[in-house]
Amino acid sequence: MQWFFIDKNILIEEESNFTIQLNSGTWREPQDITPNKTDSSAYEQAKLLRLGLEFAKEALAIKIAV
């Protein structure tokens, strides 16, 4: 899976086009997020949401450490 930031508040997974929008909080501690609604199962959407949030946290940890 390849995740990318479209801007500082929107994350997208390239293959599935699943997006996560950060409405409030930070990627490290999100308070309100909006995942896009796809035709995927609830299980698949939950999996993509978890993986996307993990990616965002790791990507920001690398930027902070540099």
Q: In terms of Cα–Cα distance, which of 28, 17, 23, 29 is closest to 62?
A: 28
pTM: 0.85
Q: What's the rounded Cα separation, in Å, for the pair 43 and 40?
A: 8
pLDDT at 38: 74
- Tokens coding 25: 């909080």
Element (H, E) at 61: helix 42-65
How do strand 10-13 and strand 19-25 relate by DSSP bridges?
antiparallel
| Rg, Å, the chain Cα set | 11
Residue 47 pLDDT greater than 70, yes or no: yes
Amino acid identity of residue 50, one-letter, is R
pLDDT at 62: 65
In the predicted model, what is the mean pLDDT of residues 37-48?
Answer: 88
In the predicted model, what is the mean pLDDT of residues 5-27?
Answer: 94
Name the pLDDT band for 64 (thresholds 50, 70, 90).
low
